[in-house]
């Protein structure tokens, strides 16, 4: 097993014999000297091949091995004038040849967000993962997920894995991806909510982080067909509670990313968006939102329509912090969410719109706990005769209590925090519409 | 938001007015006194309704509210002769009625592993989640997953989410569940391995914890069609390294479960299996295994056949610790795993068989890193012409290094550690063959 990483080597005293396993990130030649940049997951170091030191054969090998190949290098660790270290190489051994060469080279330095090469980067995602900026984004993803889990653990939420295959779509069937499993017609989950609702009556505070699927034919920068969804439910709470809870999570996540993400951010060459620290977030009503869109000539959205991604992006520029849209119409929202007792046209849902034009970040809601209201809403959505929702009804007839929920796409959160153009960059292998994984 | 839980109430001084929100877990009547057991996610406390204290109306209500209903109770906290506390109740208010009554009642005390009621427990899993033994098992699941993540973080493994929808089945297509997504024919992932293999050439140490799918028509106690899979890959290692790594994880997990799982284990009324602490685990060859099975009349397995679950269970009783089966034939194992250089009939795969008859727990392997060996194995498995494996080939032609992997089902680990009969009890909503979720 490899025990000596590049970062360990850089920490050693100079004038020591070292050997190192890694990949050739780059090669330059200046006269009779060859410079190889050797990298691994921890960083990179320069190995210098001078014919006088390495001998002719090793020098020729260093000249010839294609970049991106895996190698073992040995030599002396020396200190340069500027205090940095390099390896005066004696030997090089090929471990794995890179006889497949693609352009740009994965480990080279290029703009990973350049739309002109987006197709190439997606086709060879399995190799471009090695790019240090792409690696940094995926490290950030892991950091964020870990921080969110910490928040949940500290607040006594139990991790609860809802099923992926489910008989119950959240929205209408057209955006649900159907699967046939041994004669059983099911869907890929659109939302863990039905299962968390059952479980919250046991555990009171639960969350789920797992894959979720939306079959929409959207090519927006905010949509993936397969994404990771953070969902949480809490028993005995109202909308103010869930709004407060979400603001807490965003503050905690932003703060901790600031503390622990410095190296990652500098590798990506971006700054963390800290707009989420400005709590409490402003609130506007859905009616204010459509009025704003109409007054400024952005759209002619009418009450009762879903706001489009483009409209949300416009709204997103109204404030320099995230903000809530409350009072979203019942026609827009799926059946599980409560109706506002003071205005039967609207729900107790609120959507959080990110700053900087990033659009919707997440939604929160009071969920229905009264079985009669559930029946009414199922009927309104044309689902009351469907036996597959029976288990949802059961939960409402078995000691149901006021409960609240939120749901947030991991990739949207990452995109917003990192100021990156597209959610597809925030997941290892993005599934975007009509775009296979692989070449 | 609820701030006062049962466990908080039990910690208060007696002779204090308290109010509490929870569910009626049980009701008894003794003469003119009604005892309600009020529970929430943190525990339970007895509320006593004495007509003299509560008045006639509240007493009648307490008598009438169906068990499992959600209520708010208020009264005085008093200490009993034995030092325990109860509430001398003044008021009870219904929050959510349980007008759906099922038998056994979810919050009552019954044998959750009784096969005679297994069908009922699966049909109403959405309500039986409230049973305190079932809750304890799911808490244990969350504990184990957290502990495993800790181990990975401490050992510098990056969390990496592989896709669920994939063009590449690991085994033959018959056990892969097909999905059609906007004209693209894909499968539900059987294994994150292809993606981790790409990523390990960037991050060197990665792991994935996520859902995985096997379409087999198996009704064994060890199979779920949808389960959670812990997968890890490490660059620059050999089989000894991955065996050592797995033994480390099992020791750490067992140790930490022992330290942190006491309450959970006592609720389930089981003892933690600590057989995993006896490292290093014994090793037998696949040929020894079939010889043992044949000699003892357990089976007539021939070299080159997969061991069945029943055979693995028999083997599982050979040792009082987990043990490794090495030298598994190439005919049995899928193409990504290396062939033993000293014996071309067998692979560099090893399976870990759990103690106590629990059968296979996990597998480890050296994976192929030589592109020619990959081609040979793809051909042998009839996959060499399939373009969907092209991205796997690419990785082998782009500086591939020796790498190792392991994969373990979360539910099998839990079943073994807790000594519970069936993997279906170790996941919130089990999908077993021909068994829908819900009634």
Q: What is the pLDDT of residues B349-401, one digit of tens each?
A: 999 999 988 889 999 999 999 999 999 999 999 998 888 999 999 999 999 99
Q: What is the pLDDT of residues B121-138, one digit of tens each?
A: 999 999 999 999 999 999
Which two structure tokens, joined as six digits, stand for A158?
């139990």
Interatomic CA distance for residues A22 and A92, integer angstroms: 11
Residue B143 half-sphere exposure, CB side, CA atoms within 13 Å? 24
CA-based nearest residue in chain B for residue A99: B397
| Cross-chain residue pair B153–A167, CB shorter than 8 Å | no
Interatomic CA distance for residues A78 and A84, integer angstroms: 9
| Cross-chain residue pair B394–A163, CB shorter than 8 Å | no
Interatomic CA distance for residues B248 and A433, integer angstroms: 42
What is the pairing mode between strands B33-40 and B43-50?
antiparallel
The full set of domain ranges for chain B reads 6-96, 125-426
Grouping H, G, I as helix, E, B as strand and the rest as coil, residue B228 is strand
DSSP conformation letters of A88-130: EEEEEEEEE------SS-TTS---TT-GGGHHHHHHTHHHHTT
Q: State residue A137's pLDDT score.
A: 98
Order of strands across the sheet that contains B205-213: B158-159, B205-213, B226-235, B403-409, B359-367, B349-354, B323-326, B283-285
What is the pairing mode between strands A323-326 and A283-285?
parallel
CB nearest to A41's CB, from B129, B204, B427: B204
Q: Which of A150, A161, A409 to mutate to test the interface with B (most CBs of B within 10 A)?
A: A161
**Of A271, A230, A229, A247, the residue nearest A322 (C-alpha):** A247
Q: What is the pLDDT of residues B408-420, one digit of tens each?
A: 999 999 999 999 9
| CA angle, residues A116, A120, A122, in degrees to nearest 5 | 110
| Cross-chain residue pair B163–A437, CB shorter than 8 Å | yes
- Shortest distance between the Cα of B147 and any Cα of chain A, in A, equals 13
Task: Give the single-character DSSP code of B270.
Answer: -
What mean pLDDT is reported for chain B? 94
Contacts of B327 (CB under 8 A, 6+ apart): B285, B286, B287, B340, B343, B346, B347
Q: What is the pLDDT of residues A102-154, one digit of tens each?
A: 999 999 999 999 999 999 999 999 999 999 999 999 999 999 999 999 999 99
DSSP conformation letters of A50-64: EHHHHHHHHHHHHHH
**Of A418, A298, A304, the residue nearest A358 (C-alpha):** A418
On chain B, the residues whose CB falls within 8 A of the CB of A164 are 164, 188, 211, 213, 226
User: CATH: 3.40.630.30, 2.40.50.140, 3.30.390.30, 1.10.10.10. Which one for A6-96?
Assistant: 2.40.50.140
Which two structure tokens, joined as six digits, stand for B36?
């309600």
- Average of per-residue pLDDT across B203-217: 93
DSSP H or E stretch at residue B147: helix B132-154
Interatomic CA distance for residues A406 and B87, integer angstroms: 34
Q: Please state, as a whole number, how many other Cβ atoms lie within 10 Å of the Cβ of residue B180.
A: 12
CB nearest to A399's CB, from B69, B134, B182: B69
The answer to whether the peptide bond before residue A218 is cis (omega within 30 degrees of 0) is no
ipTM rounded to 2 decimals:
0.96
Which two structure tokens, joined as six digits, stand for A387?
């036996």
| CA angle, residues B98, B104, B105, in degrees to nearest 5 | 30
- Average of per-residue pLDDT across A306-327: 90
Q: Which of A96, A188, A375 to mutate to test the interface with B (most CBs of B within 10 A)?
A: A96
CB nearest to A127's CB, from B135, B164, B394: B394
CATH 3.30.930.10 applies to domain B125-426? yes
| Cross-chain residue pair B394–A124, CB shorter than 8 Å | yes
Which two structure tokens, joined as six digits, stand for A4?
């000596």
Q: How confident is the model at residue A324 (pLDDT cuts 50, 70, 90)?
A: very high
Q: How confident is the model at residue B347 (pLDDT cuts 50, 70, 90)?
A: very high
CB nearest to B96's CB, from A40, A210, A369: A369
- The answer to whether A45 and A79 are in contact (CB under 8 A) is no
- Shortest distance between the Cα of B229 and any Cα of chain A, in A, equals 12
Q: How confident is the model at residue B433 (pLDDT cuts 50, 70, 90)?
A: low
Interatomic CA distance for residues B267 and B257, integer angstroms: 14
Phi, psi of B358 (to 5 degrees): -80, -10
- Quick one: what percent of chain B has pLDDT higher than 70? 97
Chain center to CA of A150: 17
Grouping H, G, I as helix, E, B as strand and the rest as coil, residue A213 is strand
- The answer to whether A200 and A162 are in contact (CB under 8 A) is no
- The answer to whether B206 and B245 are in contact (CB under 8 A) is no
Q: How confident is the model at residue A431 (pLDDT cuts 50, 70, 90)?
A: confident
- Shortest distance between the Cα of B3 and any Cα of chain A, in A, equals 9
CA distances from A84 to A11, A55, A251 (A): 10, 25, 38
Task: Give the single-character DSSP code of A346.
Answer: B
What is the pairing mode between strands B85-96 and B70-79?
antiparallel
| Cross-chain residue pair A41–B183, CB shorter than 8 Å | no
Q: Which of A250-264, A347-361, B250-264 has the lowest mean pLDDT?
A: A347-361
**Of B398, B309, B397, the residue nearest B361 (C-alpha):** B309
Interatomic CA distance for residues B133 and B117, integer angstroms: 15
| CA angle, residues B247, B249, B255, in degrees to nearest 5 | 100
Residue B211 half-sphere exposure, CB side, CA atoms within 13 Å? 28
Q: State residue A438's pLDDT score.
A: 56
Q: How confident is the model at residue B435 (pLDDT cuts 50, 70, 90)?
A: low
Contacts of A291 (CB under 8 A, 6+ apart): none
On chain B, the residues whose CB falls within 8 A of the CB of A391 are 126, 437-439
């Amino acid at each position: 097993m490899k025990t000596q990483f590049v970062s360990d080597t850089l920490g050693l005293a100079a004038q020591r014999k070292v050997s190192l396993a890694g990949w050739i990130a780059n090669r330059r030649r200046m006269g009779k000297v060859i410079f190889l940049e050797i990298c691994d997951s921890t960083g990179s170091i320069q190995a210098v091949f001078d014919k006088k030191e390495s001998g002719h054969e090793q020098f020729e090998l260093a000249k010839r091995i294609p970049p991106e190949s895996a190698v073992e290098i040995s030599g002396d660790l020396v200190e340069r004038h500027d205090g940095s270290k390099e390896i005066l190489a004696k030997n090089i051994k090929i471990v794995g040849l890179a006889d497949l060469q693609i352009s740009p080279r994965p480990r080279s330095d290029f703009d990973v967000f350049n739309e002109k090469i987006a197709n190439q980067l997606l086709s060879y995602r399995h190799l471009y993962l090695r790019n240090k900026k792409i690696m940094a984004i995926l490290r950030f993803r892991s950091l964020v997920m870990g921080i969110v889990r910490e928040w949940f653990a500290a607040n006594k939420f139990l991790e609860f894995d809802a099923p992926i295959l489910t008989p119950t779509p959240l929205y209408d069937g057209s955006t649900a991806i159907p699967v046939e499993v041994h004669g059983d017609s099911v869907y890929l989950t659109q939302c863990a909510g039905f299962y968390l609702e059952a479980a919250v009556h046991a555990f009171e505070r639960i969350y789920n982080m797992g894959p979720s699927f939306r079959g929409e034919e959207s090519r927006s920068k905010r949509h993936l067909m397969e994404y990771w969804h953070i969902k949480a439910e809490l028993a005995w709470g109202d909308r103010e509670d869930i709004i407060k809870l979400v603001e807490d999570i965003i503050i905690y996540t932003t703060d901790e990313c600031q503390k622990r993400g410095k190296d990652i951010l500098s590798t990506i060459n971006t700054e963390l968006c800290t707009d989420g620290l400005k709590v409490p977030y402003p609130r506007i009503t859905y009616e204010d939102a459509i009025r704003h869109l109409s007054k400024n000539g952005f759209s002619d959205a009418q009450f009762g329509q879903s706001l489009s991604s483009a409209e949300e992006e416009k709204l997103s520029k109204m404030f320099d912090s995230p903000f809530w849209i409350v009072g979203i119409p019942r026609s827009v929202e799926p059946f599980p969410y409560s109706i506002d007792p003071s205005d039967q046209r609207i729900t107790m849902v609120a959507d959080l719109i990110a700053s900087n034009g990033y659009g919707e970040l997440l939604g929160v809601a009071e969920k229905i706990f009264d079985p009669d209201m559930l029946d009414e809403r199922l009927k309104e959505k044309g689902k009351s005769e469907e036996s597959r929702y029976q288990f949802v009804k059961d939960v409402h007839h078995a000691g149901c209590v006021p409960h609240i929920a939120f749901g947030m796409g991991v990739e949207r959160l990452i995109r917003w925090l990192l100021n990156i153009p597209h959610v597809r960059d925030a997941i290892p292998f993005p599934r975007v519409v009509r775009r296979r994984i692989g070449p």
